[in-house]
Chain A
Amino acid sequence: MTNAPNKRPAFEPASELLKPVSRDPDMKRPASTVAGALLVFLRVVSGLIILIMIVLDWRNTLKEVDVTIEGVENTPEVAQAALITVVIFLGVVLLVDAALALFILTGHNWARVTVMTFSAISIVGAFIQWWSEGQEITINGSLLTLGLDILILLALSSRSAAAYARRNERR
């Protein structure tokens, strides 16, 4: 056999792509991270507008509430309680969302991954409804919220945003 050194393979192994990123604590905040955080804030603001609309139009919304829980009578008191629960729940979600946006802005990777995961779940849900149940996605309907989710995912999954969120990781 020959003593020639091993030849370099002609292809790059897939594991090359999964190499840990290099550590760069002084990295400047990239535009994609800022855009991602701003879009999350935009989502919070749009949620806030819906919340305010519910509260301002409390009586009319109350009439539309239709509680269908077994063993619970659909009285005005129950509807009132249900609506309050929904409003509080929505408020907490929005608060958490706003906090996550702040953590993304300061470059915390767990916040970035959390937001991306929930966006991905919501996109998959919308896709299933559109594909198999034929639900229309129009500009007056859910296209704007769906678009917001996809744009958030695009911004936060970009390489610069990922590198910024992982800038402090040890190699």
Chain B
Amino acid sequence: MTDEPRRRRYSIGVAIDWFFFVFAGLAAIWLAYLSFTETFNVGWWGIAVAIAFWVLLAYLVLPRLHRILTTVYVPDYFIGRARTSDGLLGDPVNLAVLGEAEQIHTAMREAGWTRADPVTLGSSWRIISSTLTRRSYGEAPVSPLFLFGRQQDFAYQQEVDGNPAQRHHVRFWQCPEEWLLPGGSRVDWLAAGTFDTAVGLSLFTLQVTHRIDADTDIERDHIVRTVTAADPRVTVTTLKDFSTGYHARNGGGDSIRTDGDLPIVDVRAVQEATA
């Protein structure tokens, strides 16, 4: 017997939370059904009720269902893919970086990339207004994707012709300490770069979202090319066939394909910009 109190492996409170989490999901399905049948009973108001039904389905019911189901069937260890906030498989992790955060910031800035604003009420409103007025918003936030159970630490992007629907973007996650890539290489950061081609509806949740270009290798090589061209001190080594080449779908239902190479960008020689 030790004097230390045994730490409980589970928490009853968390079990209660899970009960309500699933119960609310089921209740929401019922509510969606009720509002769907009601759509046909209220004449022209049915259009408004139908929109309410879509909002309910796309932003509350389906995400909750995906969250419950992906908890069951998507493994939570590193499989080379980021996950959406609903737990669905998201963009492929196709870039690794060695170096400090400040060095990445310097290298990306020099290469003509803009850091994305965090998602807040203000920046969300700016996205809507800039889309409606067709104005440019170079620091538009990117949606959160998760790796190691954490949201991205920061993201960079490049606008294309001031069009808010199209942009290059790449998210960065710091690896946990002592964490090794499958195969044993040590990297400091992982990143997922994809190219947004248009605004559309997500296949899995019916939410409004960006569609991404299927050929994620082009975007990966674009990032590597811009960063190495801007600063000769940046070096690149490539892990050939890090993941096998594959076709798949991301969290929005867009198909993706890659040759499976993982470039490791070394920015450790970049001097931090002392502002």
Contact = CB atoms under 8 A, between A and B. Distances in A.
Q: Do A and B bind each other?
A: yes
B6 interface: no
A41 to B, nearest CB: 19
A153 interface: yes
Contacts of A171: 7
Interface stretch (A17-25, A50-58, A100-108): A17-25
The A interface is mostly helix, strand or loop, or mixed, namely: helix
Given A150-B24, A154-B64, A162 B35 contact: no
Given A138-B41, A157-B21, A150 B27 contact: yes
A143 B11 contact: no
Interface string A156-171: 1111001000100101
A154 B28 contact: yes
A87 interface: no
Contact of B23 (A21, A138, A153): A153
A143 B27 contact: no
Contacts of B8: 20
B14 A19 contact: yes
Given A157-B21, A157-B23, A143 B9 contact: no
A96 interface: no
Interface in B13-43: 13-18, 20-21, 23-25, 27-28, 30-31, 34-35, 38, 41-42
Interface residue tally on A, bucketed by range: 20 to 34
Contacts, number: 78
B26 to A, nearest CB: 9
Contacts of A147: 31, 35
A154 B24 contact: yes
Interface residues of B, number: 33
A171 B7 CA distance: 8
A18 B67 CA distance: 15
A12 B75 contact: yes
Contacts of A146: 31, 34
- Most chain A beta-carbon neighbours within 10 Å: one of B10, B35, B76: B10
Contact of B16 (A15, A113, A139, A158): A113
B234 interface: no
A120 B14 contact: no
A83 interface: no
B129 interface: no
Contacts of A150: 24, 27-28, 30-31
Nearest to B42: A139
A44 interface: no
B30 A18 contact: no
B57 to A, nearest CB: 12
- Most chain B beta-carbon neighbours within 10 Å: one of A18, A21, A123, A159: A18
Interface string A9-32: 000100101111100000000000
Contacts of A157: 17, 20-21, 23-24
Interface of A: 12, 15, 17-21, 109, 113, 116, 120, 123, 127, 137-139, 143, 146-147, 150-151, 153-154, 156-159, 162, 166, 169, 171
Interface of B: 7-11, 13-18, 20-21, 23-25, 27-28, 30-31, 34-35, 38, 41-42, 45, 49, 60, 64, 67, 71, 75-76
Q: When A and B form their complex, which 9 residue pairs have the shortest distance between CB atoms, in order from nearest?
A: A18-B10, A157-B20, A20-B11, A153-B24, A157-B24, A150-B27, A154-B24, A150-B31, A162-B17
30 contacts: A12-B76, A15-B9, A15-B10, A18-B9, A19-B10, A19-B14, A20-B10, A20-B11, A21-B14, A116-B20, A120-B20, A120-B27, A139-B45, A143-B34, A150-B28, A150-B31, A151-B60, A153-B20, A154-B24, A154-B27, A154-B28, A154-B64, A156-B20, A157-B17, A157-B21, A158-B21, A159-B21, A159-B67, A162-B21, A169-B13
